[in-house]
Structure 1
């Protein structure tokens, strides 16, 4: 039997994942609250569904690529007055699989698995990492945890979307825990990169020269190399917005707080992103956290 795949959320990551599934020849349906985006995607293959209920009824596997736990809850179960009203779970056939790709508190993911199991549905805790380009090329990373039954049904689907699919446990939670730890490092690295570049600017170092030296020295990180390029180009188009790290580092701190585990660097980075958000940079690229530093002149766009 050829599996029918549904993907919800055609944002930066979701659109790339949908492209990967289509390229691999899967029978694909998509849904996005921006109907015009779903329709435009379907022009090159696949089908756009008019509602979550329609997508759920037609698909054996539903992949959700929305922003956070609240949106995932609405995608699954709907809520009164919500833009995702009439959730997908109610129309999914027993034995179908829901793949949850958002960054959420691990306890939330565990609860989703339990609620879906009561409805006869399988669940994969599958947060993702790697950025839009890797999602589009099928080379991103998936951090997954699920029952053997769920893996048996969708192994090929996961492999079509990701270059690395890590199987971290036989029940929900482990995938989200690893993703949360990844986001701890990502957020701290971006904050540290911004601080270093800001100090260089304050000290009158040529930013392009500083970038060249650091990216060929021991102080480099993937986030410095990637995000400080945005600063040099004065391009704060949000590939991952400041508010994403307000959310994700908040989840990091919540997880640690539950066991009274100290995270001093995460706490500081979270405050930096909060400051950037409240200063008006919430929707800008997360590299805009550099804008909180006083007394520096940032690079401007070249004419």
Structure 2
């Protein structure tokens, strides 16, 4: 299959590489220089514009940072929409606005093509291991068409709903839970450490109880060892929580703890640390306690 893949960042590159390794002909537009090594070795074809990619491909996948980026690539000058013909499939795997996603889907459908939103969770590690969780919104027929491709990039693949934007809503819910878990682990470790306990031993003890979690395992260790090199940047989590709060306002839903987490992320970002890993949220609580977990 000829697959257009636009957005060869930290996660997009290994995702595209898995498709190429499976024998698909993967092409992209010239939005990254140089081409990642694994894709260059796979003979990935580079075209000049997203429109050219859409003309050449049967399926077009986008994996971009934010809503305006997807809008520009799909509908801007020389965008994907200019190269579409009836019957093609557009898959957006970015994490963006559910409301905007509904509009994008309507425009793509009007061109006689299918559109599904399929944001992912699992970070760079999951992208490299092809173990991503993929949350999908769109028609079941389009999902079945895309599923063999998803299976090359992820393990937990769910059609959340046939309404466009359902995948994005699920991803926002995921990011809310992750943020609150990070905050809970950070709060507990700051509390235990300031009380005079060894935070590493507290973490080890908690890993054997009901409080055990993947966040405690991975991010708890990051907090103790001060390893905030980004796996998932604070500024990206801020973007996701902003989408949550925007959608919640439209729905008339209160998200008090999501709001608190966003404020803590903002506190750390205001110190110029927006590109650190989201486990760095602990630094906001450390500042409030005048105590560093270590």
**What TM-score results when the alignment is normalised by the length of structure 2?**
0.92
Q: Which runs of 5 or more structure 1 residues have no equivalent in the other structure? A: 79-84
CA distance in 1, matches of 2:189, 2:4: 42
Q: Tell me what 1:5 maps to.
A: 3
1:1-303 to 2 correspondence within 5 Å?
3-31=1-29, 33-38=31-36, 41-78=39-76, 86-292=78-284, 293-294=286-287, 295-299=290-294
Question: What displacement does 1:104 show?
Answer: 1.9
Which structure 1 residue ranges, 4+ long, deviate > 4 Å from structure 2?
Answer: none
**What TM-score results when the alignment is normalised by the length of structure 1?**
0.89
Question: What displacement does 1:42 show?
Answer: 2.0
CA distance in 1, matches of 2:220, 2:95: 24
CA distance in 2, matches of 1:231, 1:48: 40
CA distance in 2, matches of 1:206, 1:32: 50
* Deviations 1:72-122, CA, capped at 9 Å, x for gaps: 1111112xxxxxx53122113321111111222221111110011122221
CA distance in 2, matches of 1:152, 1:201: 50
Kept in 2: contact 1:16–1:133 (CA 8 A): no
* Alignment root-mean-square deviation, CA: 1.9
Q: Which runs of 5 or more structure 2 residues have no equivalent in the other structure? A: none
* Deviations 1:16-70, CA, capped at 9 Å, x for gaps: 2112212222111234622203466222343233432332221111111111111
Taking a change above 3 Å as real, the CA distance of residues 258 and 48 of structure 1, as seen in their structure-2 partners, is same
Kept in 2: contact 1:56–1:88 (CA 8 A): yes
Q: Secondary structure of 1:168's match?
A: strand
Question: What displacement does 1:204 show?
Answer: 2.8
Taking a change above 3 Å as real, the CA distance of residues 59 and 38 of structure 1, as seen in their structure-2 partners, is farther
Q: Secondary structure of 2:251's match?
A: coil
Kept in 1: contact 2:17–2:38 (CA 8 A): no
CA distance in 1, matches of 2:88, 2:281: 41
CA distance in 1, matches of 2:4, 2:72: 16
